[in-house]
A and B are shown apart, each in its own frame.
Chain A
């Protein structure tokens, strides 16, 4: 029987990653991402903890989190709350202003590029690049075939590559 300590360890290991995945999926709404991540863990704790095969909890979490994110997209309101900006500025204290500026610029660019992708390509790419899941695992989380995972990731990379190249050319022209 899985214990509370094991749940705590799982939480501490995957909660930041899940927040990162959701932030990128949602386009940077940190507070919403954290709420959805907490809800995912809550669902796991309440309904599935101790019932999943070993090692399955992680994939279960990402699947549920992604579904929550899809529901979030369908809602009419997803505004960038003041809380997000406050949290972002509070986390800047350990860096120099130049480093922080660069970091925020990069973050915004990454989020902007990701938002240009269809949601299924975005989710597949994030699970591959940020969570290092295999194509089989990604298919398991997103409930799609490996072939579709392969195609989605390739298309996502190609689209982002073009977007990135255009950006760099625009910067160089300036």
Chain B
């Protein structure tokens, strides 16, 4: 900018000049093309910045307001893993004692699980390719698993690595086998389902599945738990939507103006509170899974559940009416019904 008065243009468009100075600059603008261009560009930038719209809608504003007004000790910050986990239980500040207790419980659970697995592993021969004959007959002929359905082997990595002479070769096949077992967990689960179908059809033909079959099916399903996790979330969500629908229907049927027993609202409130916390978890699950439709529905539902949970013991008619109108306006009952049915069908 070559003009010495260019810096005054910024002050001019912001109205930060004295009237005398404003007059002088405006007279200068009549003769200075550069300053005219600068003013035009600055005003254009102002339009661009002012036209920027936030990624927000009215529902998000209402939800945010509900969260701010909800609990005095709630903290809404960027959700790290700890906040997501603890937020589901209403705890939002770091508590060392609580964290230690949780770690202890998790550690104890892991030990118990390990003990259970080791105990069951001992009940079966260690040969990796052993398949009891009764289970072999129950397997469908078109099973696609490259490895038979057996007990998963206990980890043997460290011991084989110490064997220098045949260590590489001895651990290699075992490592490959463990890897193959891990990779085919999903396929094994499918084989289990096929086997179960086959055993059910065999039942119709009079053949009864043995206990060892069912035990092996349970263990393979446990080992492939990660593969079926998304379906668990869907079934949980479907149940949650159904229960929320029932709650809102019951709430909708409450008659305003008549004497309402305290116990009726107490039950609705408690139920709404339980569903509210579950809604938070499922909404975050849907967000992280990228399921925008479910996340949006749960987002609409959440403030309603919160408001019902926060109703007084004997609420005012206006408060009840306001919630009922919001439920009606959002057509929530119908949306919940449709979505819960769709999720339940998808999960079958």
Contacts and interface: CB of A to CB of B under 8 A. Distances in A.
B69 to A, nearest CB: 7
B45 A86 contact: no
Interface residues of B, number: 42
Interface residues on A, range: 35 or more
Contact of A24 (B45, B52, B67, B79): B52
Contact of A110 (B49, B61, B67, B287): B49
A87 B288 CA distance: 13
A75 B79 CA distance: 13
Interface string B60-102: 1100110111001011111100000000000000000000000
Nearest to A111: B52
B185 interface: no
B214 to A, nearest CB: 40
Interface stretch (B118-126, B290-298, B310-318): B290-298
Nearest to B80: A77
Contacts of B16: 134-135, 150
B218 interface: no
Contact of A42 (B46, B52, B68): B68
A42 B10 contact: no
B32 interface: no
A157 B50 contact: no
Given A86-B292, A129-B45, A34 B60 contact: yes
B78 A35 contact: yes
B42 A157 contact: yes
A20 B134 CA distance: 67
A158 B72 contact: no
A80 B55 CA distance: 14
B290 A130 contact: no
A41 B290 CA distance: 28
A113 to B, nearest CB: 8
A38 B79 contact: no
A35 B77 contact: yes
Contacts of B292: 86, 89-90
Given A35-B76, A129-B45, A161-B45, A15 B14 contact: no
Contact of A130 (B42, B52, B65, B287): B52
Given A8-B65, A11-B68, A16-B54, A161 B75 contact: no
B25 interface: no
Contacts of B287: 82-83, 86
B57 interface: yes
Given A90-B296, A110-B49, A128-B14, A15 B61 contact: yes
Contacts of B69: 4, 7-8, 45
B68 A150 contact: no
A103 B54 CA distance: 12
Interface in B36-53: 38, 41-42, 44-46, 48-53
Interface string A29-57: 01011111111011001100000000000
B26 interface: no
A74 B326 CA distance: 41
Contact of B55 (A4, A30, A35, A82): A30
Contacts of B30: none
A86 B11 CA distance: 40
Contacts of B50: 129-130
A11 B66 CA distance: 11
A8 to B, nearest CB: 6
B167 to A, nearest CB: 40
A106 B44 CA distance: 13
Contacts of A134: 14, 16
B215 interface: no
Given A4-B69, A38-B68, A106-B51, A160 B75 contact: no
Nearest to A146: B16
A119 interface: no
Interface in A88-113: 88-91, 103, 106-107, 109-110
Nearest to B62: A12
A23 B54 contact: yes
Contacts of B79: 35
Contact of B65 (A15, A87, A126): A15
B277 to A, nearest CB: 18
B24 interface: no
8 contacts: A8-B65, A30-B56, A42-B74, A82-B290, A90-B296, A129-B50, A154-B7, A164-B41
**Nearest 9 CB-CB pairings of A with B:** A30-B55, A20-B54, A129-B49, A19-B54, A38-B76, A154-B10, A86-B292, A161-B41, A41-B68
